[in-house]
A and B are shown apart, each in its own frame.
Chain A
Amino acid sequence: MTCRLAVAATAGLLAFLTAGARAEQGARPPVTPAQTPVVRSLHVQGNVWMINAGSVNVAAQIGAQGVLLVDSGTEAAADAILAEVRRLAGDKPIRYIVNTHAHRDHTGGNVTIAAAGKSVISGNFAAQAGPGAANAAKILAHEQTQILMLAPGPLGVAEAGRPTDTFFVEKDAFYFNDEAVELLHQPDAHTSGDIIVYFRKSDVIAAGDVYINTTFPVIDREHGGGYAGILAALNRIIDITVPRDKEEGGTYVIPGHGRLADEADVVDYRDMATIVRDRVRDAISRKMSLEQVKAARLVRDYEGRFGASQGPWTTDAFIEAAYRSLSPARAAAGPR
């Protein structure tokens, strides 16, 4: 894997420190960091690169047909991400942006990056898409994500940055750059409209925020997220991944936030999330209040790795989301 510093912005450290501004919490409206983060990349394998833009990851699939990006990072990082894509792909056109979910730290670059792309639109669709449609990359997302982006509020996006193509079933798929690209809907997980993107030939998954390895799972209940959905997503990723040998390598997983992972890393995280679920469920079954559960520090063994006492996704915020999501009234209404 090769790595190169693409943009060494002076505010990089500041951007890192404000990583908490990641827009994934339900408790607070998502915020787009104003600082330009340092943008770096590494080759994962096959056609796929991982672009690390401060605290957020973008996946880039690059081939003869052009460029497909999974997520577009923050608005502040858009120019730097674009510059890194140009460095990696030269003048190959950006054809697609796939949004894994609606949070602004993953969609904030849609307008800038889509405008730098080109679509292949012809035939009957030309009139349907409008005269300017070919002069921008297509933006793909699940319908639930589009709904969140259309609604007024913190997830709203300017028209030029909204999805141009959506799907509402479990899976969408197409062939691009000599490989199948699967968009797998993972309902009611981080949000209501998460998708996992699987590059079948490259053998790389771009997981969005259903798998991160920086904090405890982020459950945006306000926008349809739920604990059961997060676990279902993690287990689905584990179902897809095949290690090359001795639980290492093989299928790689690009998390929405954090470092590149493989199956063993996702298993480690899934185990933690499952164990915590069982503890919270047990506490609920024993009629413990939310405050009692917080005071019991049921995640003390994982706090040093995934916990936070400040920022947008504290350990307490996670426990509260887990408690409310796993409470029977909530469970009865659905998988959240």
Chain B
Amino acid sequence: MPHVVRAFLFVTLVWGAAPTPAVAQVDFSGVWAPIMHEDSVERAAGPDIGDFLGLPINAAARSRAEAWDASLLTLPEHQCKPHPSTYGFRGVGNLRIWSDADPDSGQIVTVHTHIQWMEQKREIFMDGRPRPPDFAAHTWQGFSLGHWEGPVLVVETDHLKAGWMRRNGLMLSDRAHMTERFIRHGDLLTHVYIIEDPVYLTEPLIKTNGFRLTTQVANPPYPCKEVVEVPIDAGEVPHYLPGQNPYVTEFAEKHKLPVEATRGGAETALPEFGRKIRK
């Protein structure tokens, strides 16, 4: 074997046997304030009823949202629900991130995120541990495993509870799966999330959130205690019967949009759809 080949093999073996260097890991630690230039309506009062613009939803998601009545949120058992991790990053509260490192290797083993509203606390495990079994409980934040792709933190999340897609009745099921990418550019953080849901989406739902590093202190507590605010007969659940929600077309009328365009579906996000409805 020529010396040069032997040397190459030696270097390759030594390099491969060495521990993975930590240089690819990026420190996201700090408190990040949301930059609310995207989907500002989502950050405050929430979207209008019937506003499903551009979302790759199926007919089942649309039907369910049309039956949704905001009075549902008066039920005590609905009052203290936090956002699932598939929605919470779209909020108004600060995002705090910190991590735990292995004392020997210095490798990050867990990344923690904490969003202020309703104390959405989450752990992203970086140690490749096995996922819980399919019959384990689901949580609002889900079970998250992370890994590095260069300087980008990539996170895969499942075992989620059913929760919002939008706060106007569009829901994700507990079979949703989310892939995230955390990308840091100095004092700016870009959070990309891709949600797949075989129950309510026909295509992946892809969004981004921007955050700016802030010197504000850590998030304060957010206690919540449910209370009966409106008397409702025992066992009743507020909703609209099919075809009886009077607000479904209100958004289209307010903005002088064709109702068809507000109904959502993957095709409504494409330029071809715009040309179609202009005909």
Q: How far apart sit A238 and B135, CA to CA, in the bound complex (Å)?
A: 20
Q: How far apart sit A76 and B80, CA to CA, in the bound complex (Å)?
A: 43
Q: How far apart sit A252 and B137, CA to CA, in the bound complex (Å)?
A: 9
Query: Which 10 pairs, one residue from A and one from B, show the smallest C-beta to C-beta distance?
Result: A301-B64, A301-B63, A304-B199, A274-B237, A260-B137, A52-B135, A247-B81, A259-B135, A267-B77, A246-B82
User: In this assembly, does A91 line the interface, its C-beta being within 8 Å of a C-beta of chain B?
Assistant: no
Chain A contact-residue range equals: 35 or more
- CB-CB under 8 A from A231, the residues of chain B are 235
- CB-CB under 8 A from B59, the residues of chain A are 300
Partner of A263, one of B77, B118, B174, B242: B77
User: In this assembly, does B119 line the interface, its C-beta being within 8 Å of a C-beta of chain A?
Assistant: yes
Give a binary string over B106-148; 1 marks a CB under 8 Å from any A CB, 0 the rest.
0000000000001100000000000011111111100000000
- CB-CB under 8 A from B162, the residues of chain A are 268
Stretch from A115-123, A147-155, A188-196, A275-283 forming part of the interface with B: A275-283
Contact indicator A304/B77 (Cβ below 8 Å): no
Partner of A3, one of B67, B132, B235: B132
Contact indicator A302/B241 (Cβ below 8 Å): no
User: In this assembly, does A46 line the interface, its C-beta being within 8 Å of a C-beta of chain B?
Assistant: no
- CB-CB under 8 A from B161, the residues of chain A are 248, 264-265, 268
Count of CB-CB pairs between chains A and B under 8 Å: 106
Look across to chain B and name the residue whose beta carbon is closest to the beta carbon of A255.
Answer: B135
Q: How far apart sit A252 and B138, CA to CA, in the bound complex (Å)?
A: 11
Measured CB to CB, the closest approach of chain B to A235, in angstroms, equals 5
Q: How far apart sit A304 and B175, CA to CA, in the bound complex (Å)?
A: 10
Measured CB to CB, the closest approach of chain A to B168, in angstroms, equals 15
Give a binary string over B49-60; 1 marks a CB under 8 Å from any A CB, 0 the rest.
000000000111
Q: How far apart sit A301 and B199, CA to CA, in the bound complex (Å)?
A: 9
User: In this assembly, does A271 line the interface, its C-beta being within 8 Å of a C-beta of chain B?
Assistant: yes
Chain A contacts with B in 219-250, Cβ cutoff 8 A: 231-232, 235, 238, 243, 245-248
User: In this assembly, does A106 line the interface, its C-beta being within 8 Å of a C-beta of chain B?
Assistant: no
Partner of B140, one of A57, A248, A274: A248
Q: Say whether, besides A238-B77, A274-B237, A259 and B64 are in contact (CB < 8 Å).
A: no
Q: How far apart sit A105 and B239, CA to CA, in the bound complex (Å)?
A: 35
Partner of A259, one of B60, B82, B118, B136: B136
Q: How far apart sit A247 and B76, CA to CA, in the bound complex (Å)?
A: 10
User: In this assembly, does B45 line the interface, its C-beta being within 8 Å of a C-beta of chain A?
Assistant: no
Q: How far apart sit A267 and B174, CA to CA, in the bound complex (Å)?
A: 13
**A residues neighboring B (CB under 8 Å):** 1, 3, 40, 42, 50, 52, 57, 231-232, 235, 238, 243, 245-248, 252, 258-265, 267-268, 270-271, 274-275, 278-279, 282, 296, 298, 300-305
Q: How far apart sit A305 and B135, CA to CA, in the bound complex (Å)?
A: 16
Measured CB to CB, the closest approach of chain B to A88, in angstroms, equals 15
Q: How far apart sit A274 and B235, CA to CA, in the bound complex (Å)?
A: 8
Residue from B77, B81, B175 having most chain A Cβ neighbours under 10 A: B77
Q: How far apart sit A302 and B138, CA to CA, in the bound complex (Å)?
A: 19
Contact indicator B132/A275 (Cβ below 8 Å): no
- CB-CB under 8 A from A265, the residues of chain B are 137-138, 161, 174
Measured CB to CB, the closest approach of chain A to B39, in angstroms, equals 23
- CB-CB under 8 A from A259, the residues of chain B are 134-138
Measured CB to CB, the closest approach of chain A to B257, in angstroms, equals 23
Chain B contact-residue range equals: 35 or more
Measured CB to CB, the closest approach of chain B to A335, in angstroms, equals 12
Measured CB to CB, the closest approach of chain A to B264, in angstroms, equals 14
- CB-CB under 8 A from B81, the residues of chain A are 246-247, 264
Q: Say whether, besides A259-B137, A260-B137, A305-B175, A270 and B132 are in contact (CB < 8 Å).
A: no
Measured CB to CB, the closest approach of chain B to A250, in angstroms, equals 11
Q: Say whether, besides A260-B135, A274-B237, A302 and B60 are in contact (CB < 8 Å).
A: yes
Look across to chain A and name the residue whose beta carbon is closest to the beta carbon of B64.
Answer: A301
Contact indicator A275/B239 (Cβ below 8 Å): yes
User: In this assembly, does B173 line the interface, its C-beta being within 8 Å of a C-beta of chain A?
Assistant: yes
Contact indicator A246/B80 (Cβ below 8 Å): yes
Q: Say whether, besides A1-B136, A258-B135, A279-B241, A302 and B72 are in contact (CB < 8 Å).
A: no
Look across to chain A and name the residue whose beta carbon is closest to the beta carbon of B72.
Answer: A271
- CB-CB under 8 A from A264, the residues of chain B are 77, 81, 140, 161
Q: Say whether, besides A265-B161, A301-B63, A42 and B224 are in contact (CB < 8 Å).
A: no
Contact indicator B199/A305 (Cβ below 8 Å): yes
Contact indicator B138/A270 (Cβ below 8 Å): no
Contact indicator A301/B67 (Cβ below 8 Å): yes
User: In this assembly, does B252 line the interface, its C-beta being within 8 Å of a C-beta of chain A?
Assistant: no
User: In this assembly, does B18 line the interface, its C-beta being within 8 Å of a C-beta of chain A?
Assistant: no
Other than the given A3-B136, A274-B236, A279-B241, 6 more pairs (CB < 8 A) read A50-B135, A267-B77, A268-B162, A301-B67, A302-B64, A304-B58
